[in-house]
Structure 1
Amino acid sequence: MTACSNHPGTIKGAELQKLVAASEKLQAKLRERITIVASRCGIDFEAFALLDQLSNGSGQSEERGLGLLRSAGLATGEAPNILVTTEGIKAYAAINRARFDWLDLAAEQLDVERLRITSELLDKIEL
């Protein structure tokens, strides 16, 4: 039996595994940054994710984080009529500003051409 070309024991598989690990590491760092800034607004990452959905017109069900949003004064109402308060809009903007600032700093360290090539390669992966 031969190894699949994407098996971690092959060169391609090992490189793909490194790429996935690097991506997960960056996602964890971004999540940590969002969590820190969200905590200043009295919420956690899950509540911010819900605030993001609500601010963009979705997430209108009783979801994890809604109680925290309500207690922090960032949302009001009952599903399916949950509204983001003025304070919620301000908190959402502050957290997003911090998120995008972090992404901008991370992007400064990237080689755009290599990133484009990597993205094109990832687009070719089919499950």
Structure 2
Amino acid sequence: MSEKTTTEKIGIEENVISLETAQQWATNWRSNPENTVKAHLIPQIDITQLLNEKDVQDVRAYIGVDEDGVNKLMLVGVDAKGNDLINEDAGQYIYDFTLPCPNTCNITSPLYTLK
């Protein structure tokens, strides 16, 4: 079930989920013994760079594992029609600038401390 809500007080729509839902989703991911990554840190400058590419309306994330077995979150720009914008000649790239947790964790986060 989606928890997309409308914030009447400020008159904008926000896509948010509750902490409880986030914790359940994180628990679901972690219950798979093959999964070792708990989160990905995405530097602000890199998100800004991606969003500034021509025709980018949204961002899509793809999950992968590199040749060393490190989990990766690959991000691409998406146009208004929902198409991935991947064209190096046009300056539309696949970004791999995320840093996986473990190694970049906030160990006091209520999402990190789940069992």
Q: TM-score scaled to structure 2, two decimals?
A: 0.28
Comparing both chains, which one has the higher relative contact order based on Cα–Cα distances under 8 Å and sequence gaps of 6 or more? Answer: 2
More helix by share: 1
Point out the structure with max Rg over C-alpha. 1
Q: TM-score scaled to structure 1, two decimals?
A: 0.26
More strand by share: 2
